[in-house]
Amino acid sequence: MTALRSGRNPTRGSRAVLLGCVAICMGLAAPRSAHAQAPPAAKPATVPTATPSATPSATPSATPAAKPIARPSTGVADASDASGTPTPVNPGEAAEEGVSPAPAVLPDPIRLLGGEVQAGTRAKLGWHASNEVAGLQVDTPVLVAHGVSPGPVLCLTSAIHGDELNGIEIVRRVYHSIDPETLSGTLIGVPVVNLVGFQRASRYLPDRRDLNRFFPGNPRGSLASRVAYSFFESVIRHCDYLVDLHTGSFHRTNLPQLRADLSDPRILAMTKGFGAIAVLHSNDRDRSLRSAAKRAGIAAVTIEAGEPMRLQPEEVEQGVRAIESLMDSLGMIARFHLWVDPQPVFYESIWVRTSGSGILLGSVEVGDRVEVGQTLGAVVDPVTNARDTLKSPVRGRVLGKALNQVVMPGFAAFRVGIEQRQQDLSVETTVGEGDTHDEDAYDPLQLEGIDPALEPEDVE
């Protein structure tokens, strides 16, 4: 009635009100669409659901929380219990979840002689002194086993004197018994250092010089000095520990034994890792490989075992056991060793010499324990049958001896070691002169054609 009185059309008024409401609703909906905001929580059915396989969106809130997160440091996923506390997932479960365990970190490859040996592998490399030296172009084999775990570099050298065979077999057995996939550290073996001397069945280099009197060498010196320099710089500089293998020389034999400077604490500790092998304190001989290595900061010892020009299984076996025991003590391998005898240590030794000439006939063997006044052997005149008996002046053990042969007066026939008590073996022990003169290395023939004034180191 009111509308009729005012003269207005009721139908047109209702339509205007309706259009105004629609306009207001459209105005409110436009900004919501432009900003792509999520619908109100009261209407969850309108929210798009993200799945784990879907491509991640730019909206952080869409990240699913049901999947466990793998830790990069271990490669093993964590799960959470009802309380929210993380619980470790074992590798088997991680594999089922598709998470691969992180690989173990392997040591870096060892670089030597222009080659590269990867962790867990072995390789044969080659060393030669110089391309210009006639007769030495053939590479000397250098065997390398590089382990899968960090550890020291142990070097084994033998046949610096080309007629000494036991050390060659010791290096072969030790090296080929090692599995690089279980080795910690690196083993470097040089079975034949003096390859030319070995091929000629000679102790010396072609110029009759003793290679073990020229280390660390000189790149501009004599042939022996150049060979020594090349070998020392190319191989020995890479070592942390060195075992140089030798035998007796010139019709002599030695009880398997270590020779080491026991006044050096590091070397003393090293000798204790060799097991029950005898140890003889021996001062460094000037310009020997052992002496040069020690001066370069390398713990170095010598093993003497047996006689030259022979392969002696018993001496070889003792050498192998001693080196494997050392590697065990250095943490390089895990071996079980049962050496029930204590390690005999000799800080002093003496040579018993002949007073006449004739045929030497020994009465004792290396390793025998002798008392003061005990007969060691005799020198017999082949014409008159006169006998010159050799007796031990001390109580000790026969560490080395000359084989039966023709001898002259003053010939060093038997070496007797004076044993030190095990409880006295310590870094505080006062060490005396030790082995300053070694008859094992003396040969008057090596002076032929050599001026002693120029090469005094050739004379022991």
CA atoms of 57 and 362, how far apart (whole Å): 94
pLDDT at 365: 96
Q: Give residue 384's identity as a one-letter amino acid code.
A: T
Domain boundaries, the chain: 113-343
CA atoms of 155 and 275, how far apart (whole Å): 18
The mean pLDDT value for 274-285 works out to 90
CA atoms of 206 and 402, how far apart (whole Å): 26
Q: What is the DSSP string of 222-283?
A: -HHHHHHHHHHHHTGGG-SEEEEEE---SSEEEEEEEEE-TTSHHHHHHHGGGTT-EEEE-P
The mean pLDDT value for 95-119 works out to 76
The mean pLDDT value for 328-340 works out to 80
pLDDT at 285: 81
Instruction: Kindly report which listed range (93-102, 365-374, 415-424, 427-436) carries the lowest average pLDDT score.
Output: 427-436
Instruction: Kindly report which listed range (79-88, 284-293, 328-337) carries the lowest average pLDDT score.
Output: 79-88
| Mean model confidence pLDDT for the chain | 77
Instruction: Kindly report which listed range (70-74, 126-130, 156-160, 172-176) carries the lowest average pLDDT score.
Output: 70-74
pLDDT band for position 283 (cuts 50, 70, 90): confident
The mean pLDDT value for 271-285 works out to 91
Strands (E), 354-428: 358-362, 369-370, 375-380, 387-391, 396-402, 406-407, 412-420
The mean pLDDT value for 243-254 works out to 95
Q: Give residue 406's identity as a one-letter amino acid code.
A: V
Contact 275, 343 (CB under 8 A): yes
Q: Which residues of 263-298 are buried (b: 16+ CB within 10 A; e: fewer)?
A: bbeebbebbebbbbbbbbbbbbbebbbbbbbbeeeb
- Is it true that domain 113-343 has CATH number 3.30.300.30? no
The mean pLDDT value for 347-365 works out to 95
Contact 361, 354 (CB under 8 A): no
pLDDT band for position 288 (cuts 50, 70, 90): very high
Interval 414-460: pLDDT, tens: 999 997 654 444 433 333 333 434 444 444 333 333 333 333 333 33
Instruction: Kindly report which listed range (17-26, 115-124, 152-161) carries the lowest average pLDDT score.
Output: 17-26
pLDDT at 207: 86
pLDDT at 134: 55
Report residue 145: phi and psi, to 5°. Answer: -120, 115
Give percent above pLDDT 70 in the chain.
Answer: 65
